[in-house]
C-alpha cells in the first residue's frame, strides 16, 4: 500500500512540474506569428513644389558718409576732423526722420615717399551711418552734407517689418498653390490625397539703388532717389500620399 502511494506521488510531481523550456517555446511561437503578419504597403507618393511671390517697394535707405583730412600735427588733425563732423551731425539733427550712428574714427601715418620710415603727416577718417524710411528726406540731407563730408555708399532696400509682412503673404500664396497642385495631380489618378511633408523656404532680395567704392556726388538740387521695388519669393516643396 505504501509503495503504491509513493508511486502515485512521484507520478503527480512529474505530471504537474513546469517545463523549463515552456517560456522559450511560447516566445518563439509569438515571433513566428509576428513574422507571418504582412507589412503594410507604402502608399504612392508625389513630390510637388509651388511658389508664391510679392513685389514690394524699397522703403529703407542707408548711407555712409565720412570726413577725411591730413595734417602734420595729430592734435590739429583731430580738431579739424571733429569740428567738421560736429557740424555735419548738427545738420543731421534737423532731419528727425533720419537715424544717425557714429561708426568710429581711424588715424594712420603718411610716410614720406622718398624717405622710407619717415612720417611726414597724419591722416584721419571719421565715419557716420545714416538710415531712414523717408527716402526723400535722406536724399535731401545727403545733398546738403556734401559741403561738409563725403558720401561713399548708398543703398535702398526693405525695412524688416515690410519684408516680413510680404513674406507671410507670399507663403500663404505658395501653400495654396501647393494644395491646388496636389488636388489636380490626385484627381488625375482618381484618388484622394493627404500631405506627407512640406518644406518652406524664402528667397528674394531688395534691389540695391547703388553702391560705390569711390566718393559719390549728391548735390542739394539733385532729383530724389528712385527707390524702386524688389520681390520676396517663398517656395514650398513637399510630398503627398495618394489614398485609395
Q: Is 17 helix (H, G, I), strand (E, B) or coil?
A: coil
pLDDT band at 35 (very low <50, low <70, confident <90, very high): low
124 domain residue, yes or no: yes
Domain match, 184 and 172 both: yes
Task: Name the domain count of the chain.
Answer: 2
Q: Over the Cα atoms of the chain, what is R_g?
A: 39
CA separation for the pair 59, 131 (Å, rounded): 11
Mean pLDDT of all residues in the chain?
Answer: 82
Q: Is there a contact between 134 and 10 (Cβ–Cβ < 8 Å)?
A: no
Angle at 101 (CA atoms; ends 96, 145), nearest 5 degrees = 65
Last residue of a domain, one of 122, 157, 192: 157
What grid cell was written down for 184?
489636380
Residues 184 and 109 in one domain: no
- Please compute the mean of the pLDDT values over residues 100-111 and round it to a whole number: 94
Does residue 9 lie in a domain region? Answer: no
CATH number at residue 102: 3.30.70.2970
The answer to whether residues 68 and 117 belong to one domain is: yes
Inside any domain, residue 219: no
**What's the pTM value of the predicted model, to 2 decimals?**
0.65
Examine the domain organization and report whether 69 and 187 are in the same domain.
no
* Letter string b/e over residues 104-125, b meaning 16 or more CB atoms within 10 A of that residue's CB: eeeeeeeeeeeeeeeeeebebb
Place 33 in a pLDDT band, splitting at 50, 70 and 90. Answer: low
pLDDT band at 126 (very low <50, low <70, confident <90, very high): very high
140 located within any domain: yes
Query: Is 168 found in the same domain as 49?
Result: yes
d(CA 234, CA 193): 23
Residues 75 and 145 in one domain: yes
Exposed e or buried b for every residue in 33-64, given b needs 16+ CB within 10 A?
eeeeeeeeeeeeebebebebbbebebbbbbbe
Are 112 and 137 contained in the same domain?
yes
Helix (H, G, I), strand (E, B) or coil at 131: strand
Using the predicted structure, report yes or no on whether residue 15 has a pLDDT greater than 60.
no
Same domain, 106 and 151: yes
Name the residue among 145, 149, 154 with its Cα closest to residue 91: 145
Same domain, residue pair 64 and 94:
yes
Domain with 109, as residue range(s), is: 60-157
Are 141 and 65 in contact by the 8 Å Cβ rule? The answer is no
Q: What is the pLDDT of residue 121?
A: 96
Q: Is residue 216 classed exposed, middle or buried when 0-12, 13-18 and 19+ CB atoms within 10 A define those classes?
A: middle
The total number of residues written for the chain in this structure: 244
If asked whether residues 91 and 138 sit together in one domain, one would say yes
Does a structural domain hold residue 116? yes
Q: Are residues 171 and 52 in the same domain?
A: yes
- 177 and 100, same structural domain? no
Amino acid at each position: 500500500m505504501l509503495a503504491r502511494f509513493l508511486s502515485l506521488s512521484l507520478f503527480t510531481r512529474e505530471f504537474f512540474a513546469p517545463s523549463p523550456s515552456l517560456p522559450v517555446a511560447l516566445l518563439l511561437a509569438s515571433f513566428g506569428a509576428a513574422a507571418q503578419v504582412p507589412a503594410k504597403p507604402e502608399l504612392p507618393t508625389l513630390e510637388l513644389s509651388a511658389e508664391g511671390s510679392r513685389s514690394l517697394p524699397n522703403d529703407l535707405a542707408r548711407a555712409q558718409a565720412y570726413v577725411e583730412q591730413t595734417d602734420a600735427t595729430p592734435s590739429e588733425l583731430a580738431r579739424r576732423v571733429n569740428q567738421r563732423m560736429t557740424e555735419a551731425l548738427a545738420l543731421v539733427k534737423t532731419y528727425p526722420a533720419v537715424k544717425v550712428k557714429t561708426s568710429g574714427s581711424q588715424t594712420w601715418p603718411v610716410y614720406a615717399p622718398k624717405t622710407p620710415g619717415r612720417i611726414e603727416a597724419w591722416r584721419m577718417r571719421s565715419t557716420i551711418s545714416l538710415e531712414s524710411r523717408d527716402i526723400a528726406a535722406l536724399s535731401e540731407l545727403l545733398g546738403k552734407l556734401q559741403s561738409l563730408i563725403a558720401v561713399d555708399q548708398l543703398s535702398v532696400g526693405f525695412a524688416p517689418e515690410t519684408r516680413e509682412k510680404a513674406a507671410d503673404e507670399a507663403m500663404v500664396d505658395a501653400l495654396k498653390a501647393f494644395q491646388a497642385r496636389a488636388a489636380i495631380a490626385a484627381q488625375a489618378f482618381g484618388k484622394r490625397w493627404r500631405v506627407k511633408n512640406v518644406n518652406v523656404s524664402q528667397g528674394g532680395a531688395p534691389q540695391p539703388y547703388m553702391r560705390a567704392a569711390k566718393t559719390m556726388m549728391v548735390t542739394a538740387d539733385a532729383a530724389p532717389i528712385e527707390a524702386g521695388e524688389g520681390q520676396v519669393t517663398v517656395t514650398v516643396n513637399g510630398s503627398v500620399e495618394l489614398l485609395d
